[in-house]
Amino acid sequence: MASTTVTIRPVTEADWREVRTLRLEMLRDTPIAFGETLATAENHPEAEWRLRGRRGTDEGSASFAAIDESTGSWVGTMGGYLPKTGFPLLVGVYVAPSHRGRAAGVTDALLDAVEAWAKGHANAMALHVHEDNARAIRYYAGRGFTETGRKLPYELAPHGFENEMIKAL
């Protein structure tokens, strides 16, 4: 990737078109990672996309976008929410292939934003990652997340389990 500047900012309802475009890209790229099928996402009405955009400004959740300043393109997203019990949960993690890797810094910048949000709510953060998503598991481990040993059933094909990981903040 050529050196670019990326802005990390909260997502808003007005961003619903970009949220939709990036979500569909995410599902095409790594369908096992998001608990939703491409076919389902393609059929959501505008109201659903607006709701997803509001997650960046709603109480109890966070959603951030990484925007390449040279093109205005959305190249990544990451969010979190407060479940009824437990720690803030990291969700919706995606960085476009063109902006992946430690050198690019996009994933780290997004995770820094979500961690800063989570620190306002708890002293740790959790995530669930499909057991077959080795790239993501390695990344999270490198950022200080450890597996708890808890496994949750993954409801979409090809099934399997999601590993729970946690990190002290």
Q: Is the pLDDT confidence value at 162 over 60?
A: yes
Q: Which one-letter amino acid corresponds to residue 157?
A: A
Q: Is the pLDDT confidence value at 2 over 60?
A: no
Q: Is the pLDDT confidence value at 167 over 50?
A: yes
Q: Are 16 and 50 in contact (CB under 8 A)?
A: yes
Q: Which one-letter amino acid corresponds to residue 97?
A: P
pLDDT attached to residue 3: 60
Q: 45-95, pLDDT tens digit by residue?
A: 999 999 999 999 998 999 999 999 999 999 999 999 999 999 999 999 999
Strand partners, 102: none
Q: 126-161, pLDDT tens digit by residue?
A: 999 999 999 999 999 999 999 999 999 998 877 899
Q: Which of 1-5, 28-32, 126-130 has the lowest mean pLDDT?
A: 1-5
- What is the band of 1 on the pLDDT scale with cuts at 50, 70, 90? very low
Q: Strands 6-10 and 61-68: what pairing? A: antiparallel
What is d(CA 82, CA 59) in angstroms, rounded to the nearest whole number?
Answer: 9
Q: What is the pTM of this model?
A: 0.94
Q: Are 67 and 7 in contact (CB under 8 A)?
A: yes
